[in-house]
Amino acid sequence: MTLRILFAASEVFPLIKTGGLADVVGSLPSALMAQGADVRIAVPAYRDWRSRVETPQQRLQLSLHGHTVTVWEAKHPQLDAPLWLFDCAELFDRPGDPYHDAQGLPWLDNGLRFGLFSEAVAIAAEARETTGFDTDVLHAHDWQAGLSLPWLRERDGLAAGVFTIHNLAYQGNYPASLCQALGLPAQWWQIDGVEFHGELSQLKAGIVYADHVTTVSPTYAAEIQTAQHGIGMAGLLHARSTHLSGILNGIDTEVWNPQRDKSIAYRYDARRVTAGKRANKTALQQQLGLTVDDAPLLIGVVTRFAHQKGIDLLCDALPTLMRHPLQFAILGNGDPFIAATLRAASEQAPGRIALHEGFDEALAHRIVASADVFLMPSRYEPCGLTQMYSQRYGTVPIVHHTGGLADSVTDTTEQTLADGSASGIHFLNADVGGVLYGIERALQLREDSRAWKAVQRTGMARDFSWAPIATAYLSLYRKLINQRRPAL
C-alpha cells in the first residue's frame, strides 16, 4: 500500500529557511518518496512565492474567520514532493523572515496567522475529492502547525496524526482571547486540551491531540520528560510517554560530502584525510588571517550566539584556553554581548582567533573541512546537525553530552577505541570546566596520531543519511494507520 503523507510546517528549504526545521521538512519527504511513499508539503505562501515555484494550480479555497485562504499545488525545482502553498496575503505576504518584522520583533498576530494555517491544513488533509490526495498521515511540525491535529480530530478525520517537536522552548503560547478569534471549540479549553497556565498553547495542542509525538533525537525525548528540560511540560510529556519517541534527524550527504564539496579548497576522502585537512586548514588560515601553522589545534565553531548554544561558556573559558596551542575559527551571530566579547577576544589575539559575524554557507563548509575539532557546548540540543557534518569531514566533534549530540557522537574511551566506535569527545557538565575538559581531552588525543586517525575515519564512515530515518518513520506511520483503520 502506498502511504500518502501530508507534511505541515512553517518553513521548508530551499523555499524559506530560518533554521533546522526547514532542512528536515525539505529532506525527509524525498527520503520517504524514495521508499515508495507519496508526500505533499503544506507551508504558508510567503512573499514572492510565485517567482520561486513552477506551475501553480489552485486546489482549494477556504473562508476561515473572515480570511480567504487559497491552496495552490506547485513544484519547486529542488524538491521532489509537491508543495501545497496556503495563500492569504494579509497573513503571509510580508517582508522578512516568517516570524519577525523589519525590526526583528515577532509579528503581533503570529498566533492568529499560524492558527489559521493549521486549521486550513486540517481541512485540506480531508479534502480528497478536491485535492486528489487521500491523506493517510498528517505529520505536523512544531507549534506553528500544532492546531492542525485537534482540528483533524474535530473533523473525525481518518488520517493518523504525528507531531514532531523540534525545540520544546518554542511553544506558541498566546492569550486565551485568541481562542475566540480562531473559533476554537469551547471543549478544547481544558487542562487536558489546549489550555496551558491560562493561555492557549499551540505546541500543547499538537502534543495532546497527536496519535504519536516524536522529537528529533531519542535522548531529547527522554530529557523533555524531566523538570530540567521540560519547560513546564514535563508532566504532560511523561503522561504521553507511551506515545512519545525520538528519531534522530539525518543530513544531506550529497551537500555535505568532502569528496565533492565545491565550497572547500581541497577535496578528500578517508584515505586522504590527513593531507586533505592539512591543505584546507592552510587555506582557511590564509583566508581568515590566522597564523599559517599546522601545529596549533584549530577549533571550529559555527553557531548562533545564544544561551542555548553555550557560546558564553567558551567566552569565559578563553583566558585559560589561550595558554594552550590553539586557534579558533568562529562563524555566527546573535546575542550582542557574546558577539562583542568574541570580537574583543579576536582583536586581542590576532592570528589566533578569527571571528566572522553573520552567516556564510560556503565559509561554514570551509570551517568544517579545515578545523581539527568542532566545538558544540550547547546547554541542550534537540538534535544538532553540525556534529554530523564534522564527522563526515574527519573533524573531531567536542560536544556536551545532551540530546542529539549524545546520540550522534560516540565518546572516545579505551573501550570505544578498541571496538572501533569512537567518533568524538563528550563532556558531561555544561559549564566552563566542561568546555576546558573537552578541549584538553582533544589536545591529548591528538598526541596519539594512530588513535586520532582512527576517530576521524570512524566518523567519516558513519551513515547520517535520511534513508534509515525514513524507514523508521514509515514503520511508525504504518503502525498508526493500522490502529486507526484496522481493516488496512
Q: Helices 449-461 & 273-288, crossing angle to 10 degrees?
A: 90
| Residue 471 and residue 456 share a domain | no
Percentage of the chain lying above the pLDDT 90 cut: 92
**What distance in Å separates the CA atoms of residue 108 and residue 110, rounded to the nearest whole number?**
6
Mean pLDDT in residue range 90-101: 92
DSSP single-letter state for residue 71: E
pTM: predicted TM-score of the whole model, two decimal places: 0.93
- CA distances to 32, 49, 257, 261, 390 from 466, rounded to whole Å, are 9, 27, 14, 19, 17
**What distance in Å separates the CA atoms of residue 384 and residue 402, rounded to the nearest whole number?**
10
In a domain, 264, yes or no: no
Q: Give the bridge partners for 373, in sequence order.
A: 299, 396
What pLDDT does residue 486 have?
60
* Residue 466, C-beta contacts closer than 8 angstroms, at least 6 positions apart: 27, 28, 30, 31, 250, 251, 252
| Residue 154 and residue 182 share a domain | yes
| Residue 142 and residue 239 share a domain | yes
* Per-residue pLDDT tens digits for 389-426: 999 999 999 999 999 999 999 999 999 999 999 999 99
In a domain, 255, yes or no: no
DSSP single-letter state for residue 173: E
* Per-residue pLDDT tens digits for 231-283: 999 999 999 999 999 999 999 999 999 999 999 999 999 999 999 999 999 99
Q: Is a pLDDT exceeding 70 seen at residue 221?
A: yes
Q: How many domains does the chain have?
A: 2
**What distance in Å separates the CA atoms of residue 113 and residue 96, rounded to the nearest whole number?**
15
In a domain, 257, yes or no: no
| Residue 362 and residue 283 share a domain | yes
| Residue 391 and residue 480 share a domain | no
In a domain, 312, yes or no: yes
Which CATH number does the domain housing residue 45 bear?
A: 3.40.50.2000
Looking at every residue in the chain, the average pLDDT score rounds to 95
* Per-residue pLDDT tens digits for 155-179: 877 899 999 999 999 999 999 999 9
Q: Is a pLDDT exceeding 90 seen at residue 19?
A: no
H or E stretch covering 116: helix 110-126
CB neighbour class for 395 (10 Å; exposed up to 12, middle 13-18, buried from 19)? buried
In a domain, 265, yes or no: no
* Per-residue pLDDT tens digits for 324-379: 999 999 999 999 999 999 999 999 999 999 999 998 999 999 999 999 999 999 99
What pLDDT does residue 488 have?
42
Could you tell me which of 246, 252, 230, 83 has the C-alpha nearest to residue 171? 230
**What distance in Å separates the CA atoms of residue 148 and residue 169, rounded to the nearest whole number?**
20
| Residue 448 and residue 299 share a domain | yes
| Residue 437 and residue 351 share a domain | yes
* Per-residue pLDDT tens digits for 128-149: 999 999 999 999 999 999 999 9
Alpha helix segments (H runs only) across 229-360 = 234-239, 273-288, 311-321, 336-348
| Residue 243 and residue 178 share a domain | yes
| Residue 277 and residue 196 share a domain | no
Return the amino acid letter for 140: A
What pLDDT does residue 103 have?
83
In a domain, 259, yes or no: no
In a domain, 256, yes or no: no
In a domain, 263, yes or no: no
Mean pLDDT in residue range 91-113: 92
**What distance in Å separates the CA atoms of residue 73 and residue 53, rounded to the nearest whole number?**
10
CB atoms within 10 A of CB 309: 24
Domain that holds residue 224: 4-250+467-484
| Residue 112 and residue 219 share a domain | yes
- CA distances to 190, 221, 237 from 242, rounded to whole Å, are 22, 11, 9
| Residue 73 and residue 163 share a domain | yes
* Per-residue pLDDT tens digits for 274-299: 999 999 999 999 999 999 999 999 99
H or E stretch covering 67: strand 67-75
| Residue 305 and residue 232 share a domain | no
Q: Which residue has the cell 546575542?
A: 335
**What distance in Å separates the CA atoms of residue 256 and residue 390, rounded to the nearest whole number?**
9
Q: Helices 467-484 & 20-34, crossing angle to 10 degrees?
A: 80
Mean pLDDT in residue range 6-21: 92
